[in-house]
Amino acid sequence: MRFLILLVTIAYFALAAASFDYVIVGGGATGLALAVRLSEDSSKSVVVLEAGGTGFGNVNITNLRLSRSNFGTPEDWQFVAVPQTHGGNRVQAQAQGRVLGGGSAINSGMYTRGNEIEYDALETLGAKGWNWKSMFAAVKKSERFFPPSTPDVQVLNVTFDPAFHGIAGPVALSLQALNISRLFPAVVVPTLRALGFEMNFDSNGGRHNGPSWNYLTVLPDTSTRSHAVSGYYLPVASPLDNPGGSKVATLNGANIILSASTLNTPKILELSGVGDPNVLRSIGIDVQIDLQGVGANLCNQPMSTGTSFLMRNGTVDVGNAIRSAILDFLSRSLRS
Ligand SMILES: *[C@@H]1O[C@H](CO)[C@@H](O)[C@H](O)[C@H]1NC(C)=O
Ligand SMILES: *[C@@H]1O[C@H](CO)[C@@H](O)[C@H](O)[C@H]1NC(C)=O
Ligand SMILES: *[C@@H]1O[C@H](CO)[C@@H](O)[C@H](O)[C@H]1NC(C)=O
Ligand SMILES: *[C@@H]1O[C@H](CO)[C@@H](O)[C@H](O)[C@H]1NC(C)=O
């Protein structure tokens, strides 16, 4: 039997028992997956701390088409970036899930993998074993791919490579053939082909150049979101996970795992005295460990439409070519 306990909205709940083999801070995509895998060993006790609520029954979470309505709600940490010098000093929202499942509960479910070059770079930088080969095996293990249905394949000419997909994992991947997708084979593919780009049959194999289909983390039968909660946690959840009991001031973990996201994990480390001494001292925190990289070096990318290309020097502006072709297609469709 598993020993897996979930504490949501930790300000309100506390436990009688206070010592665990693993205390996982953050019940997001990473924390829940880790908790479920670690609790497969029935001799180990695991507790997950989540600052937000469960999100159970929230249609904005389950219905992927409503995902944007989570932004700015209590399910979102509602972080904002500092004014961006190279973006006209605009202040951009940085949505981040504050609910069980974390980002996987409020994102728009677009599934993509990095490029093999990027994963191999992690190993080159010193993270032994973190390379494309091992990551590819791991992401396939987490995946339950639903091949596009016959009408999608015929009408939209969807292609995929079975070798790039797992079929037995917890995260469902499927294609939601919205009508807008017709633009892709009708306009985008021919336009890009005319510009010299070949179709990418399936971008899930570590190469992204060329037009390709983008799958969503959605269950095809119910059209509901597949995420860390539905894929990892709920299948193993037990009544034990419903917290109660007397309050305790501290939780002890033989292993403490911080999985509180890119933005909150460094914050917790810094509040614990782990970080750049100059930053910590300036806000009156005693330095426990001098680790200057904490809270630094974040690179984020603007949202793109999911199309990426390696450009030759001096290449044409693909953006304008696609934009005018799409506008042309839309105005003709609206007229007919
Ligand atoms: C869903 O999102 C809408 C728009 O943000 C909001 O008004 C509504 O309260 C949300 N529903 C839930 C259950 O949070
Ligand atoms: C369908 O896709 C395949 C593979 O990309 C391509 O060879 C073929 O020309 C496409 N057919 C149409 C009608 O676009
Ligand atoms: C897609 O198009 C079909 C036929 O034109 C239409 O019946 C259907 O409502 C459309 N679906 C969506 C989601 O717009
Ligand atoms: C592209 O041009 C830049 C600037 O002239 C040069 O540094 C770079 O090596 C070129 N890249 C390729 C792939 O030719």
pTM, two decimals, is 0.78
Asked whether residue 254 is assigned to any structural domain, the reply reads no
Asked whether residue 122 is assigned to any structural domain, the reply reads yes
Q: What count of other Cβ atoms lies within 10 Å of the Cβ of residue 108? A: 13
Does 154 sit in the ligand 2 pocket, CB within 6 Å?
A: no
**Smallest-distance ligand from the CA of 311:** 4
Does 73 sit in the ligand 1 pocket, CB within 6 Å?
A: yes
Asked whether residue 62 is assigned to any structural domain, the reply reads no
234: Cα separation from own chain's centroid = 18
pLDDT at 240 over 70: no
The residue type at 15: L
149-171 pLDDT, tens digit each: 877 777 777 889 999 999 999 99
3-36 pLDDT, tens digit each: 777 776 554 344 555 788 999 999 999 999 999 9
Asked whether residue 9 is assigned to any structural domain, the reply reads no
Asked whether residue 203 is assigned to any structural domain, the reply reads yes
Asked whether residue 206 is assigned to any structural domain, the reply reads yes
Does 197 sit in the ligand 2 pocket, CB within 6 Å?
A: no
Distance 110 CA to ligand 2 centre (A): 23
**Containing structural domain, residue 132:** 110-216
What is the domain count for the chain?
1
What's the CATH number where 131 sits? 1.10.1220.110
Q: What is the pLDDT of residue 317?
A: 62
Distance 67 CA to ligand 1 centre (A): 10
Q: Report residue 165: phi and psi, to 5°.
A: -130, 145
Question: Which residue shows structure tokens 């995929």?
Answer: 160
Nearest CA to ligand 3 atom 9: 179
Asked whether residue 118 is assigned to any structural domain, the reply reads yes
